Amino acid sequence: MKEDDLVARITANPKYEKLVSTRSTYSIIMTVLIMVIYYGYILLIAFDKEFLAQKVGADMVTSIGIPLGVGVIILTILITNIYVRRANTEFDSLTNELINEASQK
């Protein structure tokens, strides 16, 4: 079987459109989410330094900006983990299903 035939069979399958649509929507949502978190933090640094400079507690040395920065990093890791898990399970299984269906014809 030629590769061109296989590609044509895969792209003609309605499951392919579902996969592309779902994956694209999901990746756009995740990208927007992480950009809001990251750029929100950057904008907070740029426009509200006084808020970030406040101390966490009365006797603490750490300002609010440090835990927020760590939170941005942790949220980035979590969002990446969530995306990778879904990609490795749902998206990969749909891809394999498409390839198997196209190969059998």
Q: What is the pLDDT of residue 82?
A: 95
Asked whether 76 and 34 are in contact (CB, 8 A), the reply is yes
Looking at the DSSP assignment, which residues form a beta bridge with residue 55?
A: 63
Query: Which pTM value belongs to this model?
Result: 0.77
The answer to whether residues 96 and 16 touch, using CB atoms and an 8 Å cutoff, is: no
Question: Would you place residue 1 in the very low, low, confident or very high pLDDT band (cuts 50, 70, 90)?
Answer: low
Residue 102 has pLDDT above 90, yes or no: no
pLDDT tens profile 18-56: 999 999 999 999 999 999 999 999 999 999 989 988 888
Q: Say how many domains are in the chain.
A: 1
- Residue 27: CB atoms within 10 Å: 14
Boundaries of domain holding 33: 3-104
Q: With the CA atoms of 17, 18, 22 and 23 taken in that order, what torsion angle do they form, in degrees rounded to the nearest 10?
A: -50
Average pLDDT, the chain: 90
**Which pLDDT band, with edges at 50, 70 and 90, does 105 fall under?**
low
